[in-house]
Structure 1
Amino acid sequence: MSNTPAQHLPAERKAELVHRLRRAEGQVRGLQKLLDEGADCAKIAQQLLATRHALDSTYVRLNLAVAEQELQQPSTEGAQRVTEVLDRLQNRLGRAR
């Protein structure tokens, strides 16, 4: 966990993430329909991969927004602060795999 104070996402970022989540929600509904209809396993796997990619992309964008916010906070540490933020970002994204 980070030692930085909690921050809220800017409205534009939040709207982008909500849009991506709604698209992923539609993909999940599509998966359910394919399963209900008894679709070919390869087709289901392809749709599942697309859904996973959509969620992974959303997760990455959220973490980039957090890093961006952290870097915009006033700091006198300069390069050390950037290194710490990037290390936390890499750690979070590494756990996503």
Structure 2
Amino acid sequence: MASLDNAAARSDIVNRLKRAEGQLRGIQRMVEEGETCVKVAQQLSAVRKALDSTYVHLTVCLVQQEVEARLGADAKTQAKLAPIMAEMERLIGRIT
């Protein structure tokens, strides 16, 4: 099974998850303090979008890593892959 080998991508994913974790703590606090359901729902929607975005980013990073492993990770290959991966991330983001 593949794991995310790129340290920068792994760090980015961890930072996104920590941000979402902080948002969830804020939502818990809102519920405990009796905030309105509409405000809680808005924040839940925001954290769901953040997690969806993180999932898409992780998926694209893993695909890129696997493609580079098979084609080589030289600068030429990476330059060709960058726009393709950006487009894939945009498209996958639209369907999640």
Q: Does TM, normalized by the shorter one, top 0.5?
A: yes
Q: Which residue of 2 aligns with 1:28?
A: 24
Amino acid at match of 1:66: L
**Quick one: which of 42, 55, 58 aligns to 1:46?**
42
Task: State the Cα RMSD in Å.
Answer: 2.4
Q: Give, in whole Å, the separation in 2 of the partners of 1:74 and 1:59.
A: 23
Runs of 4+ residues deviating >6 angstroms: none
Amino acid at match of 1:18: V
Amino acid at match of 1:38: G
| Corresponding residue pairs, total | 78
**Quick one: which of 63, 70, 82 aligns to 1:67?**
63
Q: Which residue of 2 aligns with 1:19?
A: 15
Amino acid at match of 1:20: R
Deviation at 1:7, TM superposition (A): 4.1
Q: Which residue of 1 aligns with 2:81?
A: none
3-state SS of paired residue (1:35) = helix
Q: Give, in whole Å, the separation in 2 of the partners of 1:33 and 1:39.
A: 9
Which structure has greater helix proportion?
2
Amino acid at match of 2:21: E
Q: Provide structure 1 residue ranges, at least 5 long, that are not aligned to the other structure.
A: 76-88
Percentage identity across paired residues of the two chains = 44
Amino acid at match of 2:27: L
Q: Give, in whole Å, the separation in 2 of the partners of 1:66 and 1:22.
A: 20
Q: Provide structure 2 residue ranges, at least 5 long, that are not aligned to the other structure.
A: 72-87
Q: Relative to structure 1, is the Cα distance of residues 7 and 31 closer, same or farther in structure 2, using a 3 angstrom cutoff? A: closer
